[in-house]
Amino acid sequence: MSSQLKDNQELHELTMFRALLKCVCRNSAAIIYYLALIVFGLLVLNARNLNYFLDKGSTCKFFNAEAKLERDYVENIFQQAQVNSIHDVTLVTQLTISRVGRLEQVLDKWKGPVSAAFHVDESPNDVIQAICDNKVLSNRNNLYIHLMRKTGRLYPINQLRNLALKCVSTGFSFLSDVDFIPHQNLYNESKQIVSKNIEGSKKRAYVVAAFGVQEAKGTNKAKAVEFPESKEKLLKLWDSKMIEPVHFAKFIHGHYQTNYTRWRNATEIYPIQWYTHYEPYVIVKTTETPAYDGTFIERYFDKVSHIFHLHKAGFDFWGIPNVYIVHMPHSSSKKNMSRYLRCATLAYEEFVAKLDPIRLKKKQ
């Protein structure tokens, strides 16, 4: 090979190497640039939760301290005569005065006894007067209202549930939330079902299928839907994707075990297998039902922990056909409670350890 040809080849290789090096450098700069953008974006997205990561200890101390606060309460403020039938079912719920309108809707569908615990931060006298002025509430002689005075900053949801539950005098309790409107036949249907289990030796929790109105695509607002008065209408709304099994899009584990596919065509009660994080709304024998754990305040694991307790206490779960409850749209709370998720998770792990130490040991 001539020296000139060799020089030309070396020059060509050097040129190619420089071009390759320039390309690599340019791409590396681009990669670094985009990585920096991603990191910056993540920091911006998590800025509001920065305190959660930097100060988890004090956050959970506050969470635990709130759960331990002593709260004053008054039972059955109007001293309504109690319904003591072992064959009857009381709807148990909790709310604030801002949800009175939703309680009216519940009362319109559920004609049986209702035990409702109010969380009040106004003067109790003002709340009592507001209830007295409400014709729907004041005209019911089987509505038992209890007041718990606001103490601290967080909503003591399970303590309110316990207040409402301890005041039940009927044989069975339907553990519900005020934003869920019941089917008009649920009360009569539930009485017929539980009457067959009054003398039964097995503990049973009857699961009421729960649905929710879907959000409009691209928004955080629920679609405009009227309450479905029949199962046929509900199924049509379900098929048209106007409603769906509650929380399926956000937390499918909560109600997945209800087996909605089977519920669609069910004509008799059917067995349901409990699984982790299951949190259905259930009808249970009042005297056999354990209290809710007051450690869980606001949201996260409040119902999950109670259903787990029922499971460990030996309850079998059974689905009820034909009737249901629907979570209707309402204005959402603006409080950001995500900072307490870790605190509630730790509390739940401790709760599980008390009831099922073997299960926790296997997990570890």
pLDDT band (50, 70, 90) for residue 92: very high
Domains of the chain: 67-363 (3.90.550.10)
Q: What is the pLDDT of residues 182-241, one digit of tens each?
A: 999 999 999 999 988 776 668 999 999 999 987 665 555 556 788 999 999 999 999 999
Encode pLDDT of 321-338 as tens digits. Answer: 999 999 987 666 556 778
Of 45, 59, 137, 47, the C-alpha closest to 298 is 59
**Mean per-residue pLDDT, 130-151:** 93
Report whether pLDDT(264) > 90: yes
Q: Give the pLDDT score at 36.
A: 58
Please check the confidence at residue 359 and state whether its pLDDT lies above 70: no
DSSP lists the bridge partners of residue 143 as 114
Residue 247, pLDDT score: 84
pLDDT at residue 250 in the model: 80
DSSP state of 292: P
Query: What is the chain's mean pLDDT, rounded?
Result: 84
Alpha helical stretches, state H, the chain: 3-45, 50-54, 56-67, 100-109, 124-133, 135-138, 157-166, 186-195, 231-239, 260-265, 302-312, 341-355, 357-363
pLDDT reported for residue 51: 47
